[in-house]
Amino acid sequence: MKTLVVKGQKRNSLGKKEAKLLRSQELVPSVLYGTDEPVHFAVPFSELRQLVYTPNVYLIDLDIDGTVYPAIMQDIQWHAVEEQALHVDFLKIEETKKVKIDLPVKIVGLAKGIKAGGKLKTNLRRLKVKGLAKDLPDTIEVNVTKLGIGQSIKVGDLSLKDIEILDKKSNVVVAVTVTRAAKSAAGAAAQEEEEEVEETAAEETANE
């Protein structure tokens, strides 16, 4: 998994007043967990843009006043109306400890069901996984090449080396559904075939 550097600075004091002051300076109050004691710091929102305005997920080298912690972003709270990050939680990761993280799903290939008039529907765009940081991929690739109309790929159908997928195995990740046009075409074809059978039967009866 790719790594990004995020720089922050330790907070001198805590509390709502201090947090409000930080936000007015476009700094986001943040906490790093997983250390002996939680580390309270602030990070410029400009540093977070590369993390939040992307479908990708990254490991983070969190540089707080020169001390670098390997981490992941666990949670971000947003203002209800304005585009403003209110608070961010980070988690320090260890080489020997597994972490839980949501990874994006990447669809690979062209489903044969699409060629037959079906429509590809992605139900899950991210999957929650558990594994060591060194084993985490950038994305979870799902190959849909062999998927026909009415068929789907579920979580239980996926297998990742050294990674455990935590979502329910019965959850559908992606499916090929029948479009209205395909249904109409199939219905028209069936009706035409039925009419041809009736005409043939009528002709045979008349010739008897």
- Same domain flag for 108 and 88: no
What global pTM score does this model have?
0.76
- Same domain flag for 85 and 110: no
- Same domain flag for 27 and 70: yes
CATH code, domain with 125: 2.170.120.20
Average pLDDT over residues 131-138: 93
CATH code, domain with 13: 2.40.240.10
- Same domain flag for 40 and 67: yes
For the stretch 147-168, pLDDT in tens is 999 999 999 999 999 999 999 9
Q: Residue 176: what pLDDT? A: 95
Domain interval for residue 64: 3-93
- Same domain flag for 84 and 116: no
Give the distance, in angstroms, between the CA of residue 8 and the centroid of all CA atoms in the same chain.
27
